[in-house]
Amino acid sequence: MCGIAGATGTPDVDIIVKKMLAALGHRGPDSCGTYQAENLSIGNTLLKITGDMPQPLIGKGALVLNGEVFNFRELASESGIEYESRIKTNSDTEVLFSLIETRIKKGDTPINAVFSVLSSVNGDYALAYAFDSELVLARDPAGVKPLFYFSEKGAEKPKIVFASEKKALFDAERDIQRFPPGNVMSLNLQNGKLEERSLKIKPPQERISEEHEAAFRLKTVLGRAVELRLTSASGIAFSGGIDSTFLAALAKKINPAISLYAVGLPDSHDIIQAESAAEAIGMKDSLKVHLLSLEEIEAAVPHVIYATESVDPMRIAIGLPLYFVAKTAREDGKRVLLTGQGADELFGGYKRHEGFLEQGPEVLDREIYSDLINISVINLERDDMVTMANSVELRVPFLDKEVIKTGLSISPELKVLKKDGFYTRKYILRKAAEDLLPPELLWKEKKAMQYGTGVQKILDKLARDSGFSKRDGNHIEKYLTRVASEKGFEFI
C-alpha cells in the first residue's frame, strides 16, 4: 500500500508532485521517490508490505503502484521471470513492472501492455506507467484503491494531475474527478490523444443454482482469497457478525495467531457480540478490544473528517469505528487489516434487498450488481482513507476477483431466502460457513457498525451539546461542518 501522484504539462511538474506526495505521507511512511521526464513526473510514498522495492521502478519506462498484486508469484512462474536473477519474486511491484516491460519490448503499445498484464492480475491497485511521451493510468475493477485526477484538454501541452487522495490535489485544481474503477487510460503527451480499455466487473456468465455447489465453491474461493491476503503483519477488523467471523475462522486455519480487533463503547452491542463470537470460534485470546470514550471520539472527529474529505454524517459515523480499529491495529504492530467489506453488496445483506426480491429474482440480481459497481464511491474510498490515515493497508477478501466472479454467479434466491414469510439475508454465505461457525453465530443478524459500536449516539450528543437542535434537522452535519470550518479544512 502506498500513495501515488503525478503531473504533466508544465516544466515544474517535479516540484508539484513532491508537494502532493508530502500531503500523502501518511499513506507511505517508509520511503518516497519520483521519476521525471520532459514535462512529466510521477511519484510514490511507500508502505512496505510485500517485498522491499522502492518506487518508482525505472527501466524502459517507469511505474508507480498503490496496492497489491496477490497472484504475483503465479504470474511470475507462468512467465518464467522467477529464473532471471535480476527479478526478486518477493516484490509484486517488480513482477508487474517486468511483465509490462516485457510486452513493451515485444512491440506492444504502453496501454496494450498494461491492459494485457492487468487482465491476468488478481489484486487491488491504482497505478501509473510512463513510457516515452505516453502516460497510462489504471485502477482495479472494484475500485478498492482510490485514484483522483484533473485533466485539461485545451492546454498547449496536455495536462493531467492525479493522486491517491483529493487532498493532494486541492492546491492544484478544483475540478477533480474519480478515476473510474476498472479503467485503463492512456494520454499521449505530444498530441493529447486519449485511449481507454475496460477491466470493469462483468455480469455473470454462468448461474450456480444448486445450494451445496454454491456453498462449496464460495467457501473455496473465499478461503483462497483470505490466504492470499494474510501476512505476518495482518489483523482482522472484528465485530462478531457473520462476515468478520467467517473471515476469522478461515484465517485461523492458516495462521492460528491472527489477531482480531474490536472497538466500541463499554457494553456496546459490538463489544458484547465480538467477545461472544471470538469465544465461540476458539479465538478469545486473539481478540483485542479497544473501549471508546466520548472524549476520544470527539478528538478523532477532525482526523476522520480530514481523512475522508467529507462532513457527510453517515460517512463519518461509519468511518470513526474503522479509524479506531486501524489505529489500534497499528499500535499493535500491524500494517494490514482485513475487513468484511463487500459481503453485503455481493450476497444481499441489506434490508432493501428483501424488497428487491419481492419484485422478482432478476430485480435483486440487477440491484446486487449495481451495488457492487458503486461500492467504491459509497464505501471503499472511505474505508481506505481512514485506515491509511493510520498507515494501515485495507484488504477485502470478499472483493477478490474470483470471489466476485463466483458470488455474481450464484442465484439471487440463494442470497436472500424467503421461507414461511421470513427472510434470511446472505443465506448462501451463512451456508458456506456452516461447518466453521456455531448456529448461534451463523443465523444472527447484526447491527450496522455506527449503531453497534455506539458511535452514532455519541455524534448525536456532540452535535446537541454544540448547540445544534435535532428538531431543526441535520444537526450532526451542522456540527461536523463547524468542526471542519474551525480546522480550516478547505475541501468542504
What is the DSSP code string of 277-293? HHHHTT-GGGEEEEE--
Residue 154 has a pLDDT of 60
Per-residue pLDDT reduced to its tens digit, 148-179: 999 876 656 668 999 999 999 876 556 899 99
- Per the CB < 8 A criterion, the answer to whether 192 and 158 are in contact is yes
The mean pLDDT value for 388-415 works out to 96
Q: Quickly tell me which residue has 461500492 as its cell.
A: 375
First to last CA, the chain: 27
How many percent of the chain have pLDDT more than 90?
Answer: 76
Residue 175 has a pLDDT of 83
Q: Which domains does the chain have, with CATH numbers?
A: 2-198 (3.60.20.10), 211-485 (3.40.50.620)
Quick check: 88 pLDDT over 70?
A: no
Name, in order, each residue with C-beta under 8 angstroms of 279's C-beta and a sequence gap of 6 or more: none
Which grid coordinates are listed for 66?
Answer: 498503490
Quick check: 224 pLDDT over 60?
A: yes
Quick check: 83 pLDDT over 80?
A: no
Helices assigned H by DSSP within 69-210 = 72-79, 92-105, 110-118
The mean pLDDT value for 195-202 works out to 96
Q: What's the pLDDT band for 28 if we cut at 50, 70, 90?
A: confident
20 C-beta neighbours (distance < 10 Å), count: 28
Give me the active site residues, please. Answer: 2
What are the residues facing 148 on neighbouring strands?
Answer: 163, 178
- Per the CB < 8 A criterion, the answer to whether 173 and 213 are in contact is no
Per-residue pLDDT reduced to its tens digit, 260-318: 999 999 999 999 999 999 999 999 999 999 999 999 999 999 999 999 999 999 999 99
Lowest-confidence range among 4-8, 158-162, 200-204, 329-333?
Answer: 158-162
Residue 448 has a pLDDT of 86
Per-residue pLDDT reduced to its tens digit, 306-331: 999 999 999 999 999 999 999 999 99
What are the residues facing 2 on neighbouring strands?
Answer: 46
Per-residue pLDDT reduced to its tens digit, 347-365: 999 999 999 999 999 999 9
How many percent of the chain have pLDDT more than 70?
Answer: 93
Name, in order, each residue with C-beta under 8 angstroms of 434's C-beta and a sequence gap of 6 or more: 215, 442
Residues in the chain, overall count: 492
Sheet of 62-69: strands edge to edge?
57-58, 62-69, 123-131, 134-139, 183-188, 194-198
Residue 84 has a pLDDT of 47
What are the residues facing 289 on neighbouring strands?
Answer: 262
What separation in angstroms does the CA of 17 have from each of 47, 164, 214, 407? 18, 12, 48, 40
Judged by DSSP in three states, 148 sits in strand
Amino acid, res. 186 = S
Sheet of 40-46: strands edge to edge?
31-37, 40-46, 2-8, 159-163, 148-152, 177-178
Distance from C-alpha of 366 to C-alpha of 339, rounded to nearest angstrom: 25
Residue 444 has a pLDDT of 85
Which grid coordinates are listed for 36?
Answer: 521525471
Per-residue pLDDT reduced to its tens digit, 376-395: 999 999 999 999 999 999 99
Q: What's the pLDDT band for 114 if we cut at 50, 70, 90?
A: very high
Per-residue pLDDT reduced to its tens digit, 136-149: 999 999 999 999 99
Lowest-confidence range among 77-81, 223-227, 459-463, 485-489?
Answer: 77-81
What separation in angstroms does the CA of 82 have from each of 78, 85, 129? 9, 8, 22
Residue 54 has a pLDDT of 76
Residue 85 has a pLDDT of 44
DSSP assigned state of 380: I
Per-residue pLDDT reduced to its tens digit, 91-108: 899 999 999 999 999 999
1 C-beta neighbours (distance < 10 Å), count: 27
Q: What's the pLDDT band for 116 if we cut at 50, 70, 90?
A: very high
Q: What's the pLDDT band for 90 if we cut at 50, 70, 90?
A: confident
- Per the CB < 8 A criterion, the answer to whether 337 and 387 are in contact is yes
Q: What's the pLDDT band for 460 if we cut at 50, 70, 90?
A: very high
pTM of the complete model beyond 0.95 = no
Quick check: 1 pLDDT over 80?
A: no
The mean pLDDT value for 450-469 works out to 95
Amino acid, res. 399 = L
